[in-house]
Amino acid sequence: MGLLKELKKGVLISLWFVFLTFPVMVIKVDPIARTVVWRWANALYMAVGTFFIYFLVQFFLRKKENRKETNDSKEQTLSFIHRILQDRLQRNILIGVVAVVAVFFPQFLSAYQTNVMTTALMYVVLGLGLNIVVGLAGLLDLGFVAFYAVGAYTYALLNLHFGLGFWAVLPIGGLIAATFGILLGFPVLRLRGDYLAIVTLGFGEIIRLILENWGQFSKGPSGISNISRPGFFGIEFSLQSSIIYTYYLMVLLVLVTIFVVNRLQDSRLGRAWIALREDEIACQAMGIDKRKTKLVAFSLGAFWAGIMGVMFAAKTTFVNPASFTFLESAIILSIVVLGGMGSIVGVLFGALILILMPEYLRALSQYRMLAFGAILVCMMVFRPQGLISNIRRTYTFKKKTTSSLCR
């Protein structure tokens, strides 16, 4: 009974889609020969394709519902990664494997692979930075790339005009980006949700347009080239070893970022961010300064983006405004959403998946945006908490003993 009904519905839906796509898929007007070509085969493909996709979606939704029914107990089913992370031994083994892979990666793989991995690691840090703003403090920021651009141009300009090196500019870039974070933060303190997203989107575009059009300052669309690569106490590297050096530098930066973000998350400040995300009014009524907390979130998020901007400029030795389009913001946001908002491990995986996949599936690069969209829609439907959702810290408390951390 149910199956027949489903079949009928599937047929109707596929017919409807054939009808909708009819003008695009079936009719083709040849303006030169002045003829109309009817591509009926396309209609058939459309119908069959829609029919199957419909059933696939139905199948997964059904499965999800079943799962919900079977375990409505308090204990949520832990994902595979969570289970590993909770067991001390398994966790240490995992960390060990990751460490070994990270250390020997450039030894066994080509410079190209190393370069790709370095890029992916940069997005890990960017994701972790945005994670502070979006995942923890709950402020939807669509202009995150602006801070990335600020960092990159800080290094590019300081290097061009004053010859400052990578290490000197690294903190400066971060701090200037953080200042921009506060500058953006002030006007948007009262905004939430959609309105905040629109303003941040605008901010991102403003920065890019300024860089594009203020030629005297930023050299416009042609960008700034010949930026110095990161140095090591004045030692100059060959291109090959510079790539490897940059890779190790990036691994180090990722580790530092994870350490710092993890500590921030488990602090008084981190709790305040999460409270802010949960309920702004209650948060204020409990004595948390909303302004200060939001501004700190914005500036700390921007700080990491600025650092990565410096890194980016040093790695590619060339910056131009085309590297800082809205698409970048969207990718970084996708990393956070895909990985799991507020989850450090999630962001790590999200960045690796979203950056490495397109690199290794170059053949399908035309469909990249399509796939992005599809992945995000599927995530929202099937797993809104992200691939690896965050486990909150639990405090085990015994009188007069220190709290221990169970993750």
Residues lying near another protein in the complex (CB under 8 A) are found at 74, 260, 263-264, 267-272, 274-275, 278-279, 281-290, 296, 300, 392, 394-395, 397, 402-403
**Helices H / strands E in the chain, number of each:** 16, 6
Residue whose CB is less far from another protein, 201 or 288 = 288
22/43 Cα distance (integer angstroms): 7
Residue with smaller CB distance to another protein, 284 or 316: 284
Is 262 in contact with 344 (CB distance < 8 Å)? yes
CB 158 within 8 A of CB 164: yes
CB of 65 to another protein, least distance (A): 21
Kindly tell me which of 244 and 341 has the beta carbon lying closer to another protein.
341
What tokens does 249 get? 């530098």
Minimum Å gap between C-beta 190 and another protein is 12
Least separation, in Å, of the C-beta of 31 and another protein?
Answer: 58
Give every CB contact of residue 189 below 8 A, 6+ residues apart in sequence. Answer: 290, 291, 294, 295
Is the CB of 143 or the CB of 270 nearer to another protein? 270
User: Please, which residue, 25 or 271, has the CB nearer to another protein?
Assistant: 271
The structure tokens listed for 109 are 């793989």
CB of 210 or CB of 260, closer to another protein: 260
Q: What is the distance between the alpha carbons of residues 77 and 98, in angstroms, rounded to a whole number? A: 25
DSSP 319: E
Distance in Å, CB of 124 to another protein, minimum: 19
Angle between helices 193-213 and 145-162 in degrees, nearest 10 = 30
Residue 35's DSSP bridge partners are 30
Q: By three-state DSSP, how is residue 318 classified?
A: strand
R_g of the chain, CA atoms, integer Å: 25
In angstroms, what is the minimal distance from the CB of 46 to another protein? 42
CB of 72 to another protein, least distance (A): 12
Evaluate whether 156 touches 317 at the Cβ level (below 8 Å): no
Q: Which is nearer to another protein, 218 or 265 (CB)?
A: 265
CB-nearer residue toward another protein: 69 or 72: 72
Contacts of 361 (CB under 8 A, 6+ apart): none
DSSP code of 219?
-
Amino acid at 260: V
Nearest distance from C-beta of residue 282 to another protein, angstroms = 4
Q: Which of 204, 173, 206 is CA-nearest to residue 313? A: 173
Q: How far is the CB of 388 from another protein (least distance, A)?
A: 16
Residue number with CB closer to another protein (339 or 342): 342
Amino acid code (one letter) for 72? D
Q: How far is the CB of 260 from another protein (least distance, A)?
A: 5
Torsion angle of the four alpha carbons 276, 277, 278, 279, in this order, in degrees rounded to the nearest 10: 50
